[in-house]
Chain A
Amino acid sequence: MTLLAPDNKLLFKGPDWDFDLIRRVHDACGEIAINEMGLDPYPNQIEVITTEQMLDAYASTGMPLFYRHWSFGKEFARNEALYRKGYQGLAYEIVINSNPCLVYIMEENSAMMQTLVIAHAGYGHSHFFKNNYVFKQWTDADGILDYLEFARGLIAKYEDRYGQEEVERVLDAAHALQSHGIHRFPRKRMADLRSEQRREEERRLHGEQLFNDLWRTVPQGKRKPNADDDARRKALLGLPEENLLYFLEKTAPRLAPWQREILRMVRMINQYFYPQRQTKVMNEGCATFVHHRVMNRLHEKGQIDDGAFLEFLHSHTSVVMQPDFDDRRYSGINPYALGFAMCCDIERICTKPTDEDREWMPDIAGNGDAYGTLRNIWANFRDESFVSQYLSPECIRSFGLFNVHDDEEEEDMNVAAIHDERGYRKIRRALSKRYDVAYSDPDIQIVDVDLAGDRKLILSYRVLDGMTLEDSDTDKVLQHVADLWGYDVKLVEADDSGNVRAEHAASPRRPFM
C-alpha cells in the first residue's frame, strides 16, 4: 500500500484494493451514513468471494448455505450458462438480512465499486433490514443462519435415513406450495428461529417417547352424527385456511413425522423471504439513495477523486435506468429507478417544496428534515403503502407513467389515465395495487374436508377481476397437494357472485405415508 501524504484525504487511487482499504472505506462511508444521515444499520461482516462462489450463492437464493435440492442445481446451471455466454452480468454484491449483516463482495470489483457496494449494502440495505416494520415483524435476523444450518443438516439426515428420492419428493411438493405457505397476519410474536429449531426437536422426541402401537388397536365407539357437525369440524380444523403448507403439515392424515418436519422447514424459510417481496422498491430505493448520497459526499469531501466519481456515475446511472414501455429492454418497472426517484423526490419535497407538493403532501412538504422523514418512511411503510402515499405528481410526470385498462370483454385496451391532473390519483392507485402482495398472489384457501366420507379436501380460489388460474401449473400443484393429503382434492375457481369459472381435481398418485 502506498502511503498517502497527510494532507491527501483520498481513500484510494486507481482500481486496486486490499483489506486495509476496505476497512478505511467502510469507516468513511459509516461516517457519512451514520453521523450525517442518521442511519442505524447492523454491524457488517464483509466477505470477499469469487465469481464461482457468486454463482453458488445465486443458486441458493443468495444465502450462504442452504439445504440440497435439484432445483438449486438447475438454477446454477441456468445462471452459469447465461453468465458464460455473456448474456448476464453478475451482481456486484449480495447482502443477507442477518445480524451481523453479511455483505458479499466480488473480488474483481474495483476499489470504487467496493466503496459503492459497501455504502449500498452495508449501510443502505442493512439499515432497511434493521428498521423496517415488515422485517421486524416477520424475520429473525439473529437466527436465520443457524436455522439454515439446521435445515441443511435435517435434509442431509433424512436423505441418509429415507433416501434421496423420498426426501426429494416431499421437497418438490413443498416447493410447489411455498408461495402459499405464509402466515400473512401475525398472530403472535413469531418465536425466534433458534427456539423454533429446539421446539421441533423436542416435539419429535416427545412423539417418539409416547408412541405406543397398542393405541391403534383400541376399539372406538360409534359417534353419533351431530347437527352442527359442519361448523364444529371447520372450527376444529381451523378452516378456512390460506396457509396451505401449514394446514397440510398439521392435518394431513397420512404424513410421517419427518415429512411434516420438512414441510414446516420450507414454510419457515419461506416466511423469512416474505418481507423481501413486499419491499422491493423501498429496499432498493433506500439502498440506492444511501449509496448515491454517500458517494457524493465522499467526492465533496475530497475522499474520492474525479475519475472514481465518474466511474461511480456510470454504474449508478445504468442501475437506475428505466427503459420506456416501447423500448426493447423494457421488462417492467425498475424497482431501483422508482425507489431512488421517489426517495430523491421526498427529499426535494421536504426541502424545496412547490405549491403542488404542499397540496399533495402537506404533512412533509417543507418540513426541512429530509433524512428524518426518509428514515420514518423507510421504517413504517412497504411498497404498496409507500407508493400510494408518496408517489408525487412530479415523479409520475418524470416517469411519464400512464395507466392502461385491459378488459377481456372489450375489443381494445384503453388508456385509463395519463400523467395529468385527472390521472395522478388513478395511476397512483393502480401502481400501488400492483405492489400489493395480497392482490398479486392468487387467493387460495382450504375451505372444507369431507371427514365423514371420502376425506376429500376442498380448496377454493377467489377469482378476482376475472383472472383465472394458469391451468397446467395448477393441475401439477394440485397433484402435489393430493399426494401430501393422501386422498382426493378439488380446487374450485369461483368469483364473488358465486359463478364457478373452473374446477380442478386430483387423486393421489403415490401418496406419502
Chain B
Amino acid sequence: MNIIDRRLNPGGKSFANRQRFLRRARAQVRKAVREASSSRSIKDAGKGGEVSIPAGGVHEPHLRRSGQGGVRDYVLPGNKKYIEGDSIARPQQGGGQGSKASDSGEGEDEFRFALSDEEYLDLYLEDLELPDLAKRQVSGAKSVQWRQAGYSVSGPPSRISVPRTLRHSMSRRIALKRPKKEEIVALREEIEKLEREGGQFEALVEKRKALEQIILRSKRIPYIDPVDVRFRRLESNPKPIAKAVMFCLMDVSGSMNEHMKDLAKRFYSLLYLFLNRRYEHVDVVFIRHTHEASEVDEQTFFYSRETGGTVVSTALFEMQKIVRERYPVDQWNIYAAQASDGDNTSSDNAVVLAQLRDVILPICQYYAYVEVGMDDEDDHPGAGEPSTNLWRAYRRVSVDAPFAMRKVKHRRDIYPVFRELFARRPDGVAADGA
C-alpha cells in the first residue's frame, strides 16, 4: 500500500475548465452580472458573488425518454396503507412520484453559481478602456521583480541546478581520471577468471593490487564533490509600477440634493473600481466646493452639508494646487471626475473654461464631467441638450481634449453612461463631449 499526500499539489485543476465554461456562457453571465450589479450597494459593487443564468444556454442534451406518458411501473418503499388494487390519483405535475423526474439539468430553470471577485469585475468592466492608459509608467520603486541571473556556488538546496552540477562533476571526474564502474567490473571478472583457472599466481596478485588501487582511487575522487555544486542565482530588479490619482470634484451647495449626490457617488465608485484594476496603486482625492473649495475626507465629502454660492473654478484651482504639492505630473496618472447639477455663477464660467483648458486638461489623462439631474425631469439622456450654465461653458472645450461630459438622472443610467464614457474606441480615444 502506498500513501500519497496530494494536499500540496497545485490547486485550481478545474481552472481551465472553468474558463471554458465562462467563455461558453459569456453573454449570459455578462448580462446576469450587469443585472445583479444594479441592485447592489456601492460598497459591494466590485465584489464577486452568486449569479444565476438561464440553464438553457449551458444545457447538455442527451437522448432520454420523456417523464410522462406511456405505461410505467414504479417500485416505492415505505408502504403504510395501500393494498393491492387501490387507486392513487396521478400527481398533477411531474412524471409520477417514483420516477427520477429531477435528474440533473431537467426541471431547473436557472443555473446558479458563484463568481470570484476577479471574474465578476472582469465581466463587469469588460470592453472598457482607460483613455491614454498609463502614459507614464514611472517607478514607484517599491516592488521588485526576481529574475534568473546565471549560476552561483552558494544558495539554498531548492535552487540546485542539477544539469550544471553534473556537468562540473563529469569534467572533474574526467580530469582526475576517476576509474569507471565498467573498469572495476572488468578487472573483477578477470580476477575471477584467473582464480578459476588457477596457476599464473603472479598475474593474479598484480591484478588484485590494481583492483585495490582503482577502488581506492574511486573512493578518493567522489562522484559529486561540493565544488561541483552550482545554484541558480536570482537577481532582484526594481519593477516599475503605474500609479494613478483620481480627483473627485463635487458641488455641495444647497441645490445638490441627496439623489444627485447618490448618483455622483455611484459614478465615483465605478471609476475607482475601474482605475483600481488598471493601476497597482490608486489615490483618491475628494474636493468639494461651494463658493470656495476644500479637500475633505470621503465621509465629509458625501454626507456633510455646506451652504453658499457656487463657484466651480475654486475646485479647479484647488486641484491644481494639490497636484503641484503632492502629485508630480511626471510620476502620476491623473484622472478627474466632476459631478454637479450644472449651476455656476455666470461670471465664473469664463474662468472655469480657461482654467480647465489651459491648466487642468493638459495634466489630466482624462476628465469626465457628469451632470446629475432629478429623476422627474422629462428629457432622457441623449435627447435634448441640458442648458445649464456649466454645460454651456464646457461645450466649448475642444473636441480633441481628453474630456467627456454626460447627463445622468437615474441610478440605472449611471452604468450605461460610464460604459459609454470609457467604451473602447477603435482609435483609442475616449468619448468626447455630447
Contact = CB atoms under 8 A, between A and B. Distances in A.
| Bound pair (A, B) | yes
A74 B85 contact: no
B141 interface: no
Interface in A386-432: 399-408, 411-420, 422-423, 427, 430-431
Interface string B5-20: 1110101011011111
Contacts of A416: 73, 84
Interface string B296-331: 000000000000000000000000000000000000
A403 B63 contact: no
A64 to B, nearest CB: 9
Interface stretch (A276-284, A308-316, A321-329, A375-383): A321-329
Given A69-B20, A168-B20, A48 B71 contact: no
A37 interface: no
Interface stretch (B89-97, B145-153, B211-219): B89-97
A466 interface: yes
Interface stretch (A131-139, A365-373, A473-481): A473-481
Nearest to B68: A408
A415 B84 contact: yes
B62 interface: yes
A406 B77 contact: no
A281 to B, nearest CB: 12
Name which of A323, A414, A464 has the most chain B CB atoms within 10 A of its CB. A414
B183 interface: no
B1 A80 contact: no
Interface string A37-71: 00000011111111011011001100000001111
B382 interface: no
A433 B77 CA distance: 16
A164 B19 CA distance: 12
Given A49-B7, A68-B17, A325 B90 contact: no
A463 B6 CA distance: 49
Contacts of A175: 60, 62
Interface stretch (B109-117, B154-162, B234-242): B109-117
A404 B67 contact: no
A319 to B, nearest CB: 16
B63 A469 contact: yes
Contact of B77 (A84, A401, A463): A401
Contacts of B23: 70
Contacts of B80: 324, 400
A513 interface: no
Q: Which of B5, B11, B98 neighbours the largest number of chain A CB atoms within 10 Å of its CB?
A: B98
B226 to A, nearest CB: 33
A404 B114 contact: no
Contacts of A73: 14, 16-22
Interface stretch (A18-26, A200-208, A258-266): A18-26
Interface stretch (A2-10, A176-184, A290-298): A176-184
B114 A84 contact: yes
Interface in B112-148: 112-114
B198 interface: no
Contacts of B79: 325, 400-402, 418-419
Given A412-B90, A415-B83, A53 B6 contact: yes
Given A46-B4, A73-B21, A467-B66, A80 B77 contact: no
Contact of B3 (A19, A69, A322): A19
Most buried by A among B9, B20, B100: B20
B86 interface: yes
A442 interface: yes
Contact of A48 (B6, B13, B67): B6
A81 interface: yes
Contacts of B87: 412-415
Contacts of B6: 47-49, 53, 104
A120 to B, nearest CB: 15
A107 interface: yes
Contacts of A427: 75
B62 A179 contact: yes
B78 A325 contact: yes
Interface of B is mostly: loop
B114 A408 contact: no
Given A68-B20, A325-B97, A399-B78, A442 B11 contact: no
A407 B20 contact: no
Contacts of A505: none
Contact of B74 (A48, A56, A404): A404
A2 B23 CA distance: 52
Interface in B39-74: 50, 58-74
A332 to B, nearest CB: 6
A78 B69 contact: no
Contacts of A72: 14, 17, 21
Given A73-B20, A473-B62, A415 B13 contact: no
A444 B63 contact: yes
Given A73-B20, A418-B83, A473 B71 contact: no
B72 A465 contact: yes
A220 to B, nearest CB: 37
A45 B2 contact: yes
B99 to A, nearest CB: 9
Contact of A52 (B11, B24, B71, B114): B11
Nearest to A429: B73
B73 A430 contact: yes
Contact of B75 (A49, A411, A430, A466): A430
Contacts of A104: 6
Contacts of A44: 1-2
A431 B75 contact: yes
Contacts of A406: 71-74, 90, 96
Given A325-B98, A416-B84, A442-B63, A59 B75 contact: no
Contacts of B73: 403-406, 416, 430, 433-434
Nearest to A74: B21
Contact of B76 (A68, A70, A401, A444): A401
A100 interface: yes
A300 interface: no
Contacts of A306: none
A69 B17 CA distance: 6
Contact of B114 (A77, A179, A400, A420): A77
Contacts of A330: 78
A406 B78 CA distance: 18
A80 B24 CA distance: 18
A507 interface: no
A186 to B, nearest CB: 23
Contacts of B111: 74, 78
A431 B22 CA distance: 41
Nearest to B90: A413
Interface string A323-356: 1111100111100000000000000000000000
A476 B58 CA distance: 13
B201 interface: no
A470 B101 CA distance: 12
Contact of A465 (B21, B61, B62, B71): B71
Contacts of A433: 73
A490 B72 CA distance: 27
A288 B67 CA distance: 31
B101 to A, nearest CB: 10
Nearest to B60: A71
A77 B77 contact: no
19 contacts: A23-B1, A44-B2, A47-B3, A53-B7, A56-B13, A59-B17, A70-B24, A74-B21, A76-B17, A324-B78, A325-B97, A399-B77, A399-B78, A400-B77, A401-B76, A402-B79, A413-B89, A469-B64, A473-B62
Q: Which 7 A-B pairs have the closest CB atoms?
A: A324-B78, A73-B21, A466-B70, A73-B17, A77-B113, A467-B70, A476-B61
Given A22-B3, A406-B74, 17 more contacts: A50-B11, A73-B18, A73-B19, A76-B21, A172-B60, A176-B61, A179-B62, A180-B63, A324-B77, A414-B87, A415-B84, A423-B84, A463-B70, A470-B65, A473-B64, A477-B61, A477-B63
